[in-house]
């Protein structure tokens, strides 16, 4: 069903639904992310919707250098996002921990825990840069649909361990390390 | 039998209602966006959203609870489609005495399904969202049902076909006004959009749903739009004998109602649940009670 | 009622949106990617010292040094550029190696993709003007070259 596949990939490119997650960020990148929904930048012209639940989203937007407390939450939420999914690391912090390099409270860049597709540098990045990153991630989802990759891109592939696949979203299941 | 099937499947049934649902969902989003000074989503956006959701995986659902979770969106779509199929758009399209009651019941089912789905999803956000949806339903349904009953009692009939054919009376305009006031609550628009309060309860009852199930929820929401605005449109429209003109007027009236609802949605903020209940039970209930009592009074007088 | 007039004006007054992929212009002093000009770099490594995020690496070698910059690590604060300019002014130079472009940094797909390094040959030290130079000007500083002619006015 080549036509259905093309239709589906077109739909994935035109309808990127985001879930935003903060893993210890200073909130600068979070503010710029919601600023991209304001009239000047208007992410909705690309069909972007900021969703309330990870299960609804295709693209997980993560800000912040990953703190120790946030690692389990990031992994749980990543597993809760239903495939096909893409991850956008917004800001320099998730990519390289930026100015917090070698800090004791952090657990490495984001790529240590999940697979990241697009990096949007900046401190904070401009909203139009964030929209470019989201559009690129939507394109990646569409291309991956047309040419599926050989290996599974999951936490298991990255570091061999992962959170339970069907962890429900009640607050009790998000383990927070003291 | 064939007219009933044609009404359910072709016009105003599924073949018309599903594209109309996507169209009206787009009109609402685009109108709200334009009024907020932005460009909204492109034209086929709800269609692309639907197709994309069909292609996503769903989390595993176990046991009876899981089976129920998968069933609620399908029941919601079926009842909303049935409600659309009952609308008396074309002249002389059949129907039966009492199909107004059936229409009301079918219009109620999608919100019942949302409430049940939130509770059966086992997440705390779902429970809170469902509780809010239930309170909202209790609040606006009193006014909604009383308004419909007053219209029906004033015209001495419970048949949709007959109601659409009869000329309008002042009682009917009062009833239509009351229906319009209930419509934002039914369709989860501002100022009565509390079950959708993402900033507070994630996605409320829909939190655990994903993929094709979510596509069915969005479709049932769109069909609810068509059914509810279609009901108000058929009650407000004059009787037109030619079928294509009647259909055109029906779609045009629905478009106007959708634009009005979008204006209200972009002009207001979300009201808290106690303010919502107070609005429906204190402000509008008095008028609904007046309407139905005067309708019954006039009936017993004549 | 004023909200309804505002909505009406918005509906007919047009949107304020920049359509994708066009981007709004950045302001004048916007700090973007750091640009390096190997011709003017003296190898003082003040930029590496001042860098807040350790985005600049400097490896000194014999007769050459390697300067590398990772925009992914950078926080675009501009301290390196300020340090370079200050150092250049102190040495009396008007040209300096670092500058910041006024454009947002580009998005990238693999970690470390934007990192680039330059290998710069150390230049021979700039020779001070020699003894056989022409008569130095009247306001010459204290370490003016020795000249056979006594400098009028300046004892040293």
CB contacts < 8 A, A to C, total 88
Query: Mind listing the pLDDT tens digit for each residue in A130-177?
Result: 999 999 999 999 998 888 776 655 443 344 333 344 444 443 333 333
Residue C127, C-beta contacts closer than 8 angstroms, at least 6 positions apart: none
- Specify the higher pLDDT residue, B124 or C138: B124
User: How many Å lie between the alpha carbon of C32 and the closest alpha carbon of chain B?
Assistant: 28
pLDDT for res A48: 93
Question: Which contiguous run of DSSP H or E holds residue A59?
Answer: strand A59-63
Residue A101, C-beta contacts closer than 8 angstroms, at least 6 positions apart: C53, C54, C73
Q: How many CB atoms lie within 10 A of CB C84?
A: 23
pLDDT for res C154: 44
Q: Is residue A139 classed as helix, strand or coil in its secondary structure?
A: helix
Which residues in chain B come in under a pLDDT of 50? none
pLDDT for res B24: 95
Residue of A nearest to C74 (CA): A98
Kindly list the domain boundaries of chain A, sorted by start residue: 2-149
Interface of C with B (CB under 8 A): 3-4, 7, 10-11, 13, 15-17, 19
Domain that holds residue B201: 2-301
Integer Cα distance of A87 and A72 in angstroms: 16
Query: Mind listing the pLDDT tens digit for each residue in B259-283?
Result: 999 999 999 888 888 888 888 888 7
Region A2-149: CATH code: 3.40.50.12280
* Interchain contact, B37 vs C4, CB within 8 Å: no
User: How many Å lie between the alpha carbon of C24 and the closest alpha carbon of chain B?
Assistant: 15
* Interchain contact, A169 vs B207, CB within 8 Å: yes
- What average pLDDT does range C137-156 have in this prediction? 45
* Interchain contact, A170 vs B124, CB within 8 Å: yes
pLDDT for res A117: 93
DSSP state of A60: E
C-alpha distances in angstroms, C35 versus A96, C53, C67, C101?
20, 16, 12, 7
B100's tokens:
């107004």
B186: left (phi over 0), alpha (psi -120 to 50) or beta: alpha
Nearest alpha-carbon partner for A155 in A101, A77, A97, A92: A77
Q: What is the pTM of this model?
A: 0.84
Interface mutation target, options B36, B42, B261, chain C, most CBs of C under 10 Å: B36
Whether residue B3 lies within 8 A of chain C, CB to CB, comes out as no
Which residues in chain A come in under a pLDDT of 70? 150-178
From the candidate CATH numbers 3.30.70.3270, 3.30.565.10, 3.20.20.60, 3.40.50.1820, the one assigned to the domain spanning C27-121: 3.30.70.3270
Integer Cα distance of B183 and B229 in angstroms: 8
CB B56 within 8 A of CB A84: yes
Kindly list the domain boundaries of chain C, sorted by start residue: 27-121
Q: Would you call the peptide bond into C17 cis, given omega within 30 degrees of 0 as the criterion?
A: no
Q: Which chains touch C (3 or more CB pairs under 8 A)?
A: A, B
What is the length of chain B? 302
pLDDT for res B296: 79
| b/e code B79-92 from CB counts within 10 Å (16+ = b) | bbbbbbbbbbbbee
What is the length of chain C? 156
Residue C14: pLDDT above 90?
A: no
Integer Cα distance of A94 and A112 in angstroms: 10
Q: Domain total for chain B?
A: 1
Mean pLDDT, chain C, whole residue set: 80
Task: Give the HSE-up count for residue B141: Cα atoms under 13 Å, Cβ half-sphere.
Answer: 13
């Amino acid at each position: 069903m080549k036509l259905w596949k093309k239709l589906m990939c077109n739909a994935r490119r035109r309808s990127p639904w985001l879930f935003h997650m903060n893993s210890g960020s200073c909130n600068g990148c979070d503010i710029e992310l919601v600023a991209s929904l304001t009239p000047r930048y208007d992410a909705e012209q690309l069909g972007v919707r900021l969703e309330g639940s990870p299960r609804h989203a295709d693209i997980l937007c993560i800000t912040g250098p990953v703190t120790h407390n946030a690692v389990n939450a990031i992994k749980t939420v990543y597993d809760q996002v239903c495939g096909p999914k893409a991850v956008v690391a917004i800001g320099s912090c998730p990519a390289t921990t930026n100015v917090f390099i070698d800090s004791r409270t952090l657990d490495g860049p984001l790529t240590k825990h999940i697979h990241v597709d697009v990096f949007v540098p900046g401190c904070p990045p401009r909203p139009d840069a964030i929209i470019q990153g989201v559009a690129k991630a939507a394109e990646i989802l569409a291309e991956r649909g047309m040419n599926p990759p050989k290996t599974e891109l999951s936490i298991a592939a990255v570091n061999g361990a992962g959170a339970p696949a069907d962890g429900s979203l009640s607050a009790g299941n998000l383990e927070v390390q003291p | 039998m064939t007219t009933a099937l044609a009404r359910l499947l072709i016009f105003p049934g599924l073949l018309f209602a599903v594209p109309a649902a996507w169209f009206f969902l787009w009109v609402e989003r685009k109108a709200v966006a334009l009024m907020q000074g932005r460009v909204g989503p492109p034209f086929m956006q709800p269609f692309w959203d639907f197709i994309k959701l069909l292609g996503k995986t769903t989390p595993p659902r176990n046991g009876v609870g899981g089976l129920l979770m998968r069933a609620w969106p399908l029941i919601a779509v079926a009842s909303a489609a049935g409600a659309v199929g009952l609308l008396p758009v074309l002249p002389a399209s059949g129907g039966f005495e009492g199909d107004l009651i059936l229409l009301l019941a079918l219009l109620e089912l999608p919100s019942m399904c949302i409430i049940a789905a939130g509770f059966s999803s086992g997440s705390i956000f779902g429970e809170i969202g469902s509780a809010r949806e239930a309170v909202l339903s209790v609040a606006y349904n009193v006014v909604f049902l009383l308004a419909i009953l007053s219209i029906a009692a004033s015209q001495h009939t419970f048949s949709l076909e007959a109601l659409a054919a009869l000329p309008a009376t002042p009682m009917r305009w009062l009833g239509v006004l009351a229906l319009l006031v209930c419509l934002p609550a039914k369709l989860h628009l501002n100022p009565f959009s509390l079950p959708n309060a993402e900033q507070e309860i994630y996605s409320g009852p829909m939190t655990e749903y994903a993929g094709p199930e979510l596509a069915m929820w969005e479709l049932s929401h769109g069909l609810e739009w068509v059914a509810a605005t279609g009901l108000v449109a058929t009650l407000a429209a004059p009787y037109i004998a030619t079928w294509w003109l009647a259909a055109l007027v029906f779609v045009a009236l629905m478009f106007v109602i959708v634009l009005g609802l979008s204006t209200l949605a972009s002009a207001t903020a979300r009201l808290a649940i106690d303010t919502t209940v107070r609005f429906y039970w204190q402000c509008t209930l008095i008028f609904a009670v007046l309407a139905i009592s005067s309708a019954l009074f006039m009936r017993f007088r004549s | 009622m004023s909200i309804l007039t505002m909505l009406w004006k918005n509906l007919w007054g047009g949107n304020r949106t920049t359509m994708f992929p066009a981007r709004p212009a950045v302001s004048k002093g916007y700090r973007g990617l750091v640009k390096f000009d190997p011709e003017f770099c003296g190898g003082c490594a003040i930029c590496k010292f001042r860098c807040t995020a350790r985005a600049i690496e400097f490896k000194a070698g014999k007769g050459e040094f390697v300067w590398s910059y990772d925009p992914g690590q950078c926080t675009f604060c501009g301290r390196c550029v300020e340090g370079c300019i200050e150092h250049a002014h102190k040495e009396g130079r008007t040209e300096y190696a670092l500058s910041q472009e006024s454009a947002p940094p580009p998005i990238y797909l693999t970690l470390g993709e934007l990192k680039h390094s330059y290998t710069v040959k150390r230049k021979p030290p700039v020779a001070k003007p020699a003894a056989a130079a022409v008569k130095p000007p009247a306001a010459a500083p204290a370490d003016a070259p020795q000249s056979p002619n006594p400098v009028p006015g300046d004892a040293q």
